[in-house]
Amino acid sequence: MNYFLLGIVFIVYFLMVGYVGYLAWKRTNSSEDFLVAGRETHPYIMALSYGATFISTAAIVGFGGVAGKYGMGILWLAFLNILVGIFIAFVFFGKRTRKMGKNLNSLTFPEFLGRRFDSKFIQYFSGVLIFCAMPIYAAVVLIGAARFMESSLMLDFNLALFILAVVICGYVLFGGLKGVMYTDALQGTIMFIGMLILLVFIYWVLGGVTEANTALTNMAHLYPPDALAEGGTGWTSFPKLGSPFWWTLVTTIIMGVGIGALAQPQLAVRFMTVKSNKELHRSLLIGAVFIAVMTGTAYIVGSLCNVYFYQNFGQIAIDYVGGNMDSIIPTFISTALPEWFVYIFLLSLLAAAMSTLSSQYHTQGTALGHDIVDAFKNRGTTREYTDEEILEGSSKEETRIGFISVSQLGILIAVVLSLIIGLILPGGIVALGTSLFMGLCAAAFLPVYCAALFWKRATRKGAIAGLLSGTFTSLFLLVFVYKKTAVGLGICKALTGMDMLINVMPWYSIDVMVFAIPVSVIFTVVVSLLSPPMDEKVIKRSFEGLSEE
């Protein structure tokens, strides 16, 4: 290992990150700057920040590893990422979120939902849910980056987790969302270049696109026996309809992440950082190209690793790495590519992890400081939100403990929680952890978020009913029905003596989101129709100017 070259690469990288973080710190002068980057973010920065937050080491390492074991069927997720996560998100959700968020002077996703439905409870509950659930997602992102540092730098896994968390914590703590978005844009650029080089390299080393894909197809007889037992049919074909893996791939991975992206708090708040729809339109194409290259490359390279490892070492990818899917992409990079590119790609993975983690830590910190503590302290008396509170927004000085704000304390707590969870979670957990978090967010927030944006008749009671029913249905199914989590948690076994309450295919293989979202929709609609309409003043304020969008 060339430590001199590695040192130069890392010094240059951290100097760049430090510089943009310093710029953000200098330009962060208010709560609005800290929480929504002053609402004047450049389209390139917004698009790269959105994309870099969306695509983390979970996509590159976790889902790339899934492709390495099971094949290219996961490419449907890349299609859904672009269609739903970018096009639908920007065109249909983004513009209305930006305008309505500005109308309501909301600075966070929970506050947006709370003010739209004039409910402090919605803001509190959403903040608590985000603060409690997101550390699991942050932990799997940390694991993905740490695994690559472990395999390429021979660095202790636990030490790698600690270094990553401390560095990210530094610029999020003081730069707020401006610090997050500025560094995201830098890191997103590095990620894009690194992944593009990787895609070209693997087809070059395997003899071309046709030759590589044909070789992978011809290796179907080497497909892992356990993957065959779950319903897989080969690396270049879709799994058997109705098989356990078909349900997992379609409902948990493709739908859970593809649709779940619409209701991710750390992504939705990005729409509130630009000053007009013009910036959103300009961001759309940049974001789509970025997501296509990032996800498509990870899934293609993950699958084609099997060809490389078999031709050079006589083993398929999952066997070569000892059964841990999360190690497939890192091992391929450190084994197949030139040493200089290993360092460059390490930066790409670090950038992917740091961009996503910074957003997660910021979202968790603001959930505690702004949506739980400050929202409770500043609660209204005669109305859930007073008119003065809406007009002022949240520009008031945030609650402070000593020399740091509660949001900054929340960021520190989030870092510690993700570190602890990262040390506890087993191998091969990255893709599943990501899917489950996104599915939980979709079940809890998506129906209520849609109602907030598009349905004036939705009421406070309906939104609360939808939020609670989606959340608790998801949690119940995760603990007692969905096999991958019910068996892992062991709560169902301890309480009932059974691994899961329903031990019949396909029910224990279907993602909880498939059941929880319809439940949330039904409760939101029925309770809204049975309860009195919202105050016309709230509706008028929320939807003002949206017909012109």
Residue 176 lies in a domain: yes
Residue by residue, DSSP assigns 314-356 as SS-HHHHTTT-GGGHHHHHHHHHS-HHHHHHHHHHHHHHHHHH
- Are 404 and 470 members of one domain? no
CA gap 481, 501 in Å, rounded:
6
- Are 360 and 492 members of one domain? no
| Per-range mean pLDDT, top range of 9-23, 105-119, 476-490, 500-514 | 105-119
Task: Give the 3-state DSSP-derived string for 28-89, with helices as H, strands as E and coil as C.
Answer: CCCHHHHHHHHHCCCHHHHHHHHHHHHCCHHHHHHHHHHHHHHCHHHHHHHHHHHHHHHHHH
Tens of pLDDT along 130-185? 888 888 878 877 777 777 677 666 777 788 778 777 777 765 665 555 666 777 77
pTM over 0.85: no
Domain of residue 352, CATH code? 1.20.1730.10
Residue 325 lies in a domain: yes
Residue 545 lies in a domain: no
Nearest partner of 371 among 107, 11, 21, judged by Cα: 107
- Are 59 and 89 members of one domain? yes
CA gap 254, 480 in Å, rounded:
23
- Are 432 and 469 members of one domain? no
Give the least confident one: 125-129, 270-274, 404-408, 522-526. Answer: 404-408
- Are 407 and 525 members of one domain? no
> How many Cα atoms are found within 13 Å in the side-chain-facing hemisphere of 161?
21
Report residue 454's pLDDT band, with 50, 70 and 90 as the boundaries: very high
Q: Which range marks the domain in which residue 527 is found? A: 457-533
Residue 500 lies in a domain: yes
- Are 417 and 462 members of one domain? no
Residue 403 lies in a domain: yes
- Are 519 and 401 members of one domain? no
229-238: Cβ within 8 A, 24+ apart: 232/70, 232/71, 234/71, 235/70, 235/71, 235/72, 235/303, 235/306, 236/71, 236/72, 236/303, 237/71, 237/73, 238/73
b (16+ CB within 10 A) / e for 129-167: bbbebbbbbbbbbbbbbbbbbbbbbeeeeeebbbebbeb
Which two structure tokens, joined as six digits, stand for 360? 């997660």
Residue 476 lies in a domain: yes
- Are 358 and 274 members of one domain? yes
- Are 496 and 436 members of one domain? no
Number of separate domains in the chain? 2
Question: Given 441, 469, 491, which residue is the final one in a domain?
Answer: 441
Tens of pLDDT along 386-401? 655 555 554 445 555 4
Residue 108 has pLDDT above 80, yes or no: yes
Strand ranges (DSSP E) for 95-209? none
Residue 89 lies in a domain: yes
Residue 128 lies in a domain: yes
Radius of gyration of the chain (CA): 23
Question: Given 382, 411, 441, which residue is the final one in a domain?
Answer: 441
- Are 414 and 475 members of one domain? no
- Are 217 and 272 members of one domain? yes
Nearest partner of 259 among 524, 517, 541, judged by Cα: 517
Which two structure tokens, joined as six digits, stand for 410? 């929340």
- Are 120 and 156 members of one domain? yes
Tens of pLDDT along 513-538? 889 999 999 999 999 999 999 988 88
Residue given tokens 């339109």 in the structure block: 281
Report residue 380's pLDDT band, with 50, 70 and 90 as the boundaries: very low
